[in-house]
Amino acid sequence: MKNNIIYILVLFFGILSVSAQHKEGRANHRALKKEFYQNLSQGQKDALDNKKRLRKEHKETMKASFTKDQLAIVEDETLSKQEKRKALRKTFSDKQKEMFENHKAFMKEEHKKFKTSLSDIQIEQYEKLEKKRCKIRQQKKG
């Protein structure tokens, strides 16, 4: 009986500490993002906002071109975000594929332009954010 109680307490504190680390990691990521954004010039902030706007417009344009079957995939709550993306990609028409690839190439160019406008310190901060973002994505996957 004592062993069970000890086991439960150890398990509880282990879960509690992991949860606290996760929250701390997210807060740290938000702080990094805030610091990075504050160090940008107005032109750089405008470029970031423009990229965000373009992504949103593309998403809306793609969604407007979806068939009923594609919309059913989007609305299927049993699928994860990644599963929805995979399923949708398989159903893209040639026009949708072209729209997707054009947008991808355009955004890659915009990203290059933005990155060349950054100073060495800003690039360092940006790369830290990218690493952190990749870690967060990996945690969500696994």
Confidence of residue 31 (pLDDT cuts 50, 70, 90): confident
Confidence band (pLDDT; 50, 70, 90) for 14? low
3-class DSSP state of 111: helix
- Tell if the pTM clears 0.75, that is, is over it: no
Residue 137 covered by a domain: yes
CA-CA distance, 15 to 9, in Å (whole number)? 10
Q: Is the pLDDT of residue 18 over 60?
A: no
Total domains in the fold of the chain: 1
Q: Is the residue at 50 inside a domain?
A: yes
Q: At residue 85, does pLDDT exceed 80?
A: yes
**In a domain? residue 12:** no
Is residue 13 predicted with pLDDT exceeding 60? Answer: no
Which two structure tokens, joined as six digits, stand for 107?
């955004």
Q: Extract the tokens encoding 108.
A: 């890659």
d(CA 91, CA 62): 12
Domain that holds residue 47: 39-61+94-141
Please report whether residue 103 resides in a domain. Answer: yes
